Copies of this chain bind each other. A is one copy, B any other.
């Protein structure tokens, strides 16, 4: 990996997502992955747009950071259509329902990010609007069968078959849709 600058931090990425790891690697940030298991529930009265920040912070709160140079990064990505939150689909029927609901529509992808050191905690989120062309039931079934999008909010990966063939337009940060708004994250880190 090619690194542009040295950093005073040892980064800890508290995420299982292989896309988040790839993005940090592409950005030239070295890090260690740590496992965080939290219940991803949130208060029912919480405004949908605040859910990703709430869950990113909840993940960060599960890990105590005591070493002065350690910096924990946690994140949570949700897909929103109106006020409806689409998280990871539990099964094939749910995945199919999500894709057919997103078909021909513009939805919002919000990633919440929490940065946490022994001294500070900072939470922010980034939104990107994504517009799909029409997706037929046959296309959605094909995608689910071959790509198993069960680890993806909204049942799709923008970087794979359905993204390349069916996304018409995005407004905002592409990498945010993949799960981490890296360019924004770097600027928040500079100010941390």
- B-binding residues in A (CB < 8 A): 2, 4, 23, 26-28, 133, 139, 142, 146, 158-161, 164-175, 182-184, 186-187
Contacts and interface: CB of A to CB of B under 8 A. Distances in A.
A57 B165 CA distance: 23
Contact of A161 (B28, B139, B158, B172): B28
A183 B161 contact: no
Given A26-B160, A28-B161, 10 more contacts: A4-B139, A4-B165, A23-B164, A26-B164, A27-B164, A27-B165, A133-B187, A158-B174, A169-B172, A171-B171
A42 to B, nearest CB: 28
Contact of A165 (B158, B172, B183): B183
A93 B146 CA distance: 46
A174 B183 CA distance: 16
Contacts of A23: 164
A136 to B, nearest CB: 10
